[in-house]
């Protein structure tokens, strides 16, 4: 069988025998024995080859331009080689080819950019936690790993996962092996495949929420790599498994009725080439936009019938945040409605969408490889028609939905089963110091599972009523304030890690956001905006958009040292895309832009009008005029 990479036919190498399938979702563990490796070993190519494309040959492969990463994937023996050799070398780093492959295993090689004159190599690890669910055992293991092998902190991400920074190469196998053996995984947390699947993090015992979370877990299982390379490298071929995969997942993966699969391939959906770029999916319920649903490659929304029973899903496609400065052909994009499917078809519809991107997404220039560019080029109607070929059915019209709302799930709330949950606000998702120690003590003492939210916060789940007071007191003593006592600017803000470890960062984000929020509050005070009022502020150190700044009411996007683009016009419910307002605003000058804007908003807004809605209604020409006049007035005085 062949898979479409620029219309050409490519060949990969047959890897280890396919290991038993499972999903790493925090269920009881058991261990399967190592699988036999065919002739050629785990790293080298075997004599057999597998075609990695599934459309008829259009031109000779030598005539097709492909990015370097495509060649690396093709020759990797399903993500093994040369990573397996680089991991055992004496060097503190791995080579460029292995750097690309280790992403699929959930890690990025980094250097500390605060250290001048030498390369100080370490690795960031990212976990895979569908719905943000973290069993008690895994949380405690991650907390310990951060102290023993990391920088002493845990980072909660905007995709409901952990990031562990500062792991040196010789400790990678120990750390990843420990994650695997404690009900966790890092497989597919990075790389050109499906990333962590988002869903509402709240542990409500409610039909639609539970169904959304179950669906997210099933999608994650469907799209998990199957070749066994992950377990070969990190636990010597042992397959640490959770409970058996739901039969509907196995059935959907194996189904090749409409030509979606690579027969007899260790990767039946991905083939040797995997996807053209990263792929992001979120699942939610009607009205709940805690997951930034429209920013994903696929957004899935549970639709319930008149009795409250989940009946099917509205599907959205083509969202994505990343862009490149000064390259106008790259852009953030909101997802388009694709249609509705009954609940029993969701895995087949998801697979059809993924395969459409696999077959048609660009593989020559990675800047344009995300599915949003395919849909922008084709239009939604052509894209829908192509997906329907692999789905085998027509999509129904989307069902009407209520207006989106952002839900933070902070503070004390009833789960619906007699127990409570508590959403803990964590500034920028960075868990460290006394807060980290206290959270571990609480989670360990009361044997709590936790959930990570897409807004970088932590939910303590399954709390008995009798534990409420001692937990509240312990959190307060550690400086983890009740959300009502936190500045509302902080409650909705987000920042990516950026400097010093991210190689793409052009300026500060996480280390700079709290001072910026304080300066914004000071501007609010100066122009008469009340303490309970707020705007959604998000900051990234580069234009890739990990903290989704293009959905914020005020987005700061790093465009140089101590310099930001300012984006305006997002809405509090994350349903509207912001637009670039001003470039190259120096950190020390942000008040020169924000003070006139906030002052004008305070004096000219309609009742209840959010800042983002106000900026869109007013228009950027008028707002720039306001900023310019304010500056002229300040200069005159």
Report the catalytic residues.
Answer: 126, 195, 278, 280, 496, 502, 542, 546
- Inter-helix orientation angle 346-360/380-391, to 10°: 120
Work out whether strand 298-304 and strand 281-285 pair parallel, antiparallel, or are unpaired: parallel
**Long-range pairs for 299-308 at CB < 8 Å and ≥24 separation?**
299/335, 300/212, 300/215, 300/219, 300/346, 300/350, 301/401, 302/208, 302/211, 302/212, 302/215, 303/340, 303/399, 303/401, 304/207, 304/208, 308/207, 308/208
Closest CA to 536 of 525, 545, 549, 523: 549
CB atoms within 10 A of CB 217: 22
301 CB burial (10 A radius; 0-12, 13-18, 19+): buried
How many C-beta neighbours within 10 Å does residue 436 have? 19
Please give the Cα distance from 291 to 299 (Å, whole number). 9
Report H helices in 528-619: 590-604, 611-618
Residues 6+ apart with CB under 8 A from 282: 197, 198, 199, 216, 291, 292, 293, 295, 296, 298, 299, 300, 454
**CA 16, CA 148: separation in Å to the nearest integer?**
33
Give CA–CA dist 116/19, Å, rounded: 45
Q: In this structure, what are the phi and psi dihedrals at residue 508, rounded to the nearest 5 degrees?
A: -75, 150
Reduce the DSSP state of residue 374 to 3 states and report it.
helix
Output phi, psi for 254, to 5 deg: -75, -20
Question: d(Cα 312, Cα 381) in Å, to the nearest integer?
Answer: 21
- Cβ neighbours of residue 44 under 8 Å, at least 6 residues apart? 77, 81
* Whether 190 contacts 126, CB under 8 Å: yes
Q: Give the start-end residues of each E strand in 168-215.
A: none
Q: Which residue has the tokens 């319920």?
A: 285
Containing 462, the helix (H) or strand (E) segment is: strand 458-463
Q: Could you give the 3-state DSSP secondary structure of residue 280?
A: coil
**Contact predicate 31/238, CB 8 Å:** yes
């Amino acid at each position: 069988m062949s898979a479409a990479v620029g219309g050409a036919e490519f060949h990969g190498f047959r890897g280890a025998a396919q290991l038993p399938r499972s999903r790493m979702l925090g269920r009881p563990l058991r261990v399967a024995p190592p699988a036999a490796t065919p002739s050629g070993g785990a790293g080298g190519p075997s004599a057999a080859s597998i075609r990695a494309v599934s459309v008829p040959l259009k031109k000779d492969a030598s005539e097709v331009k492909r990015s370097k990463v495509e060649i690396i994937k093709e020759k990797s023996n399903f993500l093994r080689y040369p990573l397996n050799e680089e991991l055992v070398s004496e060097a503190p780093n791995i080579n460029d080819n292995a750097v690309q492959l280790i992403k699929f295993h959930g890690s990025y090689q980094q250097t500390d950019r605060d250290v001048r004159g030498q390369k100080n190599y370490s690795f960031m690890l990212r976990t895979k936690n569908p719905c943000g669910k973290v069993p008690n055992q895994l949380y405690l293991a991650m907390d310990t790993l951060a102290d023993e092998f990391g920088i002493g902190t845990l980072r909660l991400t905007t995709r409901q996962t952990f990031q562990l920074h500062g792991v040196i190469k010789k400790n990678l196998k120990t750390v990843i092996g420990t994650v695997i053996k404690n009900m966790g995984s890092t497989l597919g947390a990075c790389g050109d495949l499906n990333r962590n699947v988002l869903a509402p993090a709240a542990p409500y015992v409610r039909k639609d929420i539970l169904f959304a979370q179950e669906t997210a877990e099933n999608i994650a299982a469907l799209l998990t790599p199957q070749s066994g390379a992950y377990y070969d490298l990190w636990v010597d071929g042992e397959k640490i498994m959770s409970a058996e995969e739901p039969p509907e997942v196995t059935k959907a993966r194996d189904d090749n009725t409409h030509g979606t699969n690579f027969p007899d391939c260790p990767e039946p959906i991905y083939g040797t080439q995997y996807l053209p770029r990263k792929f992001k999916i979120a699942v939610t319920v009607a009205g709940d936009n805690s997951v930034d649903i429209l920013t994903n490659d696929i957004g899935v929304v549970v639709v319930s019938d008149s009795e409250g029973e989940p009946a099917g899903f509205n599907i959205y496609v083509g969202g994505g945040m990343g862009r490149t400065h000064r390259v106008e052909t790259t852009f953030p994009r909101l997802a388009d409605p694709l249609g509705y499917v009954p609940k029993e078809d969701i895995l087949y519809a998801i697979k059809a969408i993924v395969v459409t991107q696999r077959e048609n997404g660009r593989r020559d220039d990675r800047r344009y490889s995300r599915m949003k560019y395919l849909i922008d080029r084709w239009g939604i109607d052509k894209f829908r028609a192509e997906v329907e070929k692999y789905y085998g059915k027509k999509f129904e019209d989307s069902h009407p939905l209520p207006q989106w709302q952002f839900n933070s799930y902070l503070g004390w709330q009833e789960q619906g089963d007699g127990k409570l949950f508590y959403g803990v606000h964590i500034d920028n998702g960075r868990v460290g110091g006394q807060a980290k120690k206290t959270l571990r003590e609480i989670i360990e003492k009361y044997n709590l599972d936790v959930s990570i939210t897409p807004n970088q916060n932590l939910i303590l789940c399954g709390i008995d009523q009798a534990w409420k007071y001692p937990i509240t007191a312990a959190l307060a003593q550690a400086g983890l304030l009740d959300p009502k006592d936190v500045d509302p600017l902080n409650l909705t803000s987000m920042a990516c890690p950026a400097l010093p470890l991210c190689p793409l960062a052009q300026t500060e984000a996480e280390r700079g956001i709290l001072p910026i929020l304080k300066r914004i509050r000071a501007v609010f005070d100066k122009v008469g905006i009340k303490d309970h009022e707020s705007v959604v502020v998000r900051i990234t150190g580069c234009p890739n958009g990990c903290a989704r700044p293009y959905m914020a009411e005020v987005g700061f996007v790093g465009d140089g040292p101590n310099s930001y683009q300012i984006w305006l016009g997002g809405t509090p419910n994350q349903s509207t895309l912001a637009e670039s307002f001003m470039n190259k605003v120096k950190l020390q000058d942000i008040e020169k832009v924000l003070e006139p804007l906030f002052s004008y908003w305070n004096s000219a807004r309609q009742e209840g009008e959010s800042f983002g809605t106000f900026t869109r209604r007013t228009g950027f020409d008028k707002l720039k005029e306001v900023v310019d006049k304010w500056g002229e007035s300040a200069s005159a005085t």
